[in-house]
Amino acid sequence: MWSSVFIHSLEHPAGGYKKIFESCDELAEPIPAHVSGKIPAWLTGSLLRVGPGLFEIGDEPFYHIFDGQALIHKFDLKDGHVTYYRRFIRTDAYVRAMTEKRIVITEFGTAAYPDPCKNIFSRFFTYFQGIEVTDNCLVNIYPIGEDFYACTETNYITKVDPDTLETIKKVDLCNYLSVNGVTAHPHTEPDGTVYNIGNCFGKNMSLAYNIPLINAFCESNYFVFVETPVKINLLKFLTSWSIRGTNYMDCFESNDKMGTWFHLATKNPGEYIDHKFRTSAFNLFHHINCYEDQGFIVVDLCTWKGHDFVYNYLYLANVRQNWDEVKKAAMRAPQPEVRRYVLPLDIHREEQGKNLVSLPYTTATAVMCSDGSVWLEPEVLFSGPRQAFEFPQINYKKYCGKNYTFAYGLGLNHFVPDRICKLNVKSKETWIWQEPDAYPSEPLFVQSPDAKDEDDGVLLSIVVKPGVTQRPAFLLILNATDLTEIARAEVDVMIPVTLHGMYKP
């Protein structure tokens, strides 16, 4: 048993990870899983996750990790028994691809070409109207009130039934909010308020960020927004949509001069605080947690150092290479690091050159510069060469926005997910779960009903083990305290990569 043994670098010469990027069929009905270990009696509910499940339409391939057609997965746990079910989400992108047997809607890194059968007049209309924005909701699923929505990062979200996995309806956020797109990572308050950040195409080709509020009511505090050098070039985005062969990836640009900016706003009333917080360039996809303490804002992030866009390394052709090539490509990519930044709220211009951070437990600094900006240097919480602590999770219910101790994550080894990690952000102690030739997904934390400590609970992850002859995938249940295995529920089908998800009690 390899559980909890810290292994610095696992090698994958057999290339089993390629299997998580292969198309699969949906299931006609839930299938039973083979359980070993003892599932806690209180763990009754559903693990819902989404990801790409169809990586080509006929002989037309999708090119990027974020292009495959959205597949929703569900593990149901009840009385120690587990079933697994999955369905393709009936998005417009999927339904039209199935009907026309070609890629109809342009995806993140794959352009759709006009139907060759259409005549010159309808092609003119395609040009005129621009290319349709995708509704391929393969990134996440989250609740809004009583409903569940699968999403990507465009203006479309898709309502799904969490029991039957049926697709209910497509919702255009533009009808409710002044946004052109929102992230796949909303923040949900205990009262059900959902916050998200979106971009809004303003006048004169300017790009503004809105923080749309989907529900109502919340307590007063702060919003932190990290502006990285990677951006959508709006002019390119608006003009090149009408050009044959363009996709979203073509519209990204990275500014090698600006570094990274932190923005602060008060929550209630919603007002921008005009302090200029600056630091060196990094890519950022996931925030771990953020809280206020003694006049400071502590921001913990999964960063990738440098301005080179990390998504450039996430084409399917990259992740389907042999292990030596995968490693070579990851050497050139930005390097991952878990960092803590600390933003002082009380800033006086005359304190030039001085470190304004006086929190006793961090080495992060914030220094007032002569131009009035504040230069931030982080405290490194975790760093391993080409070993990312990514897809972070915390005890979100109890510790989101609060001074916390534990983060859980998926370990990416040269971009290949091959371990589950736990990090004590105070002591920097780490725990690892891994097995040879096993590829887990983002671990979701579920608190136990009698929990006293922050980490009293379990972690749920879908693990794929393509090398075995029987039951090549399983739901893994770990003790969140020490990452020892509690149980696993194995199924007779392969499960492709999943990105994000949720646990529905």
Binding site residues for Fe cation, as ranges? Answer: 185, 286, 500
User: Could you identify the residue written with the tokens 């510790």?
Assistant: 399
Residues β-bridged to residue 342: 298
CB burial readout 411-440, b (16+ within 10 A) else e: bbbbbbbbbbbbbebeeeebbbbbbebbbb
User: What residues contact 203, with CB distance under 8 A and at least 6 apart?
Assistant: none
Q: Residues within the annotated binding site?
A: 185, 286, 500
Query: Vertex 381, ends 20 and 403: CA angle to 5°?
Result: 105
The widest CA-to-CA distance across the chain, in whole angstroms, is 70
Radius of gyration of the chain (CA): 23
Q: How far apart are CA 334 and CA 412, in angstroms?
A: 13
Q: How far apart are CA 98 and CA 160, in angstroms?
A: 19
Residue type, position 220, single letter: S
Query: Vertex 154, ends 149 and 157: CA angle to 5°?
Result: 20
Query: Per the structure block, which two tokens stand in for 263?
Result: 């923005």
Q: Is the Cβ–Cβ distance between 484 and 478 less than 8 Å?
A: yes
Q: Is the Cβ–Cβ distance between 186 and 235 less than 8 Å?
A: no
Phi then psi for residue 249, to 5 deg, are -55, -30
